[in-house]
Amino acid sequence: MLLLLFVMCHCELLLMQVPVTFIYGEGDWMDPKGGARVCKEIREERGQLTPADLLVTSIPQAGHYPFLDQPDLFMKALLEHTKPYRCSQAWSTMYHVDNVSC
């Protein structure tokens, strides 16, 4: 059952037409190599959509929940990875934001 769930999720990731980023804690029990492998497979299947697509980041001194263990570092990484989208005119128009902090 778990393998079937993994295969279904993996296939869904390959079909996604939105940027994908994996953010791990440095001490996470999950191996970031898995995220890197998935990014490589997606890159081969559909290509990289933007420079900020298919990235793997590790947050120091954090475990499986880096957003709880290191909220400031997690937010910094998240803002950095989403900067190309947050700073676009389309994003500003969609969310009715005039002065986006980039």
Average pLDDT on 66-77 reads: 95
Task: Give per-residue pLDDT as tens, 7-57.
Answer: 446 666 667 677 888 999 999 999 999 889 988 988 888 889 888 889 999
SS3 content of the chain, % helix, strand, coil (to 5): 55, 10, 35
Q: Which residue has the higher pLDDT, 8 or 76?
A: 76
Quickly state the pLDDT bin for 83 (edges 50, 70, 90): confident
Q: Name which of 29, 12, 94, 31 is nearest 65 in CA terms.
A: 29
Q: Write down the pTM of the prediction.
A: 0.72
The token duo for 29 is: 């029990």
Number of helices and strands in the chain (H, E): 5, 2
Q: Tell whether the model's pLDDT for residue 4 goes beyond 50.
A: no
Where are the chain's structural domains?
17-94
